């Protein structure tokens, strides 16, 4: 089995995330994709992050009915800051004999070489770099000094194009706070949950 591990804050999940997952599933011939909402992210110190359980719930609503997709609460259930290296170790130990991939949008792909214990991450998973508007195309050369040439060649073959979608969670949070429409930026049940829990609203909106 070929598993894709897809981490992010997913605050909230949107169509960009879902199309990224679907594109990797098809183009990299994955069997399953596991969405892993972050706990306390070491990369993005966010003043106000939606509680992990609600972010996981929004993912569940978005992927209902797609059997290749699932959610892991591994990071949100940890009390400490979660590092990706711990997450990939967890899946290495729980998905024995599986081939493991790490799905990353182009912005994150360029960040990855600076992540904590990156060499172990790159031994444990094959990163799949995905095009994203506003970031240069993912180039495996960023890992040149971190992995042997054969592995670098393997990484080069795992760069994926998808229709560029200029949606971000930040854009959604800001639109909700300003009382603007967020229709069609994410699956409808996610939008409904945002409304019912009054997520991202300010006092005025």
Going by C-beta distance under 8 Å and a sequence separation of 6 or more, which residues neighbour residue 107?
A: 132, 134, 135
Query: Nearest-CB residue to ligand ATP?
Result: 105
Cα 195 to Cα 117: distance, rounded to the nearest angstrom: 39
Give, in order, the Cα–Cα distances in Å from 32 to each of 37, 101, 103, 110, 201: 16, 10, 12, 25, 34
Least Å from the CB of residue 55 to ligand ATP: 9
CB-based contact 199:169 (threshold 8 Å)? no
Which contiguous run of DSSP H or E holds residue 169?
A: helix 169-177
With respect to ligand ATP, which residue has the nearer C-beta, 20 or 58?
20
- Residue length, the chain? 205
Chain residues binding ligand ATP by CB under 6 A are: 8-11, 16-17, 20, 104-105, 107-108, 130, 132, 165, 167-170
Of 3, 7, 13, which is closest to residue 167 (Cα–Cα)? 13
Q: Closer to ligand ATP by CB, 45 or 96: give it.
A: 45
Nearer residue to ligand ATP within complex by CB, 93 or 166: 166
Tell me whether residue 124 or residue 129 sits nearer to ligand ATP (CB atom).
Answer: 129
State which residue, 119 or 170, has the beta carbon closest to ligand ATP. 170
CB of 149 to ligand ATP, least distance (A): 26
User: Closest approach of Cβ 140 to ligand ATP, in Å?
Assistant: 16
Supply the minimum distance, in Å, between the C-beta of residue 141 and ligand ATP: 18
CB of 191 to ligand ATP, least distance (A): 15
């Amino acid at each position: 089995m070929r598993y894709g591990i897809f981490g992010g804050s997913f605050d909230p999940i949107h169509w960009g995330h879902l199309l990224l997952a679907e594109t990797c599933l098809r183009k990299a011939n994955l069997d399953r994709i596991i969405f892993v909402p972050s706990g306390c992210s070491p990369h993005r110190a966010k003043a106000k992050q939606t509680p992990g359980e609600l972010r996981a719930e929004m993912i569940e609503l978005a992927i209902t009915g797609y059997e290749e997709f699932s959610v892991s609460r591994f990071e949100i259930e940890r009390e400490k800051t979660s590092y990706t290296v711990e997450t990939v170790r967890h899946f290495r130990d729980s998905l024995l004999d599986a081939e493991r991939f790490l799905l990353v949008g182009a912005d994150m792909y360029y960040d990855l070489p600076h992540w904590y214990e990156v060499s172990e991450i790159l031994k444990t998973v094959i990163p799949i770099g995905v095009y994203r508007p506003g970031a240069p195309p993912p180039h495996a050369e960023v890992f040149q000094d971190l992995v042997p040439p054969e592995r670098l060649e393997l990484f080069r073959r795992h760069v994926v194009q998808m229709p560029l979608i200029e949606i971000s969670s930040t854009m959604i949070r800001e639109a909700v706070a300003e009382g603007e429409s967020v229709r069609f930026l994410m699956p409808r049940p996610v939008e409904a949950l945002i409304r019912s829990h009054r997520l991202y609203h300010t006092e005025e909106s």
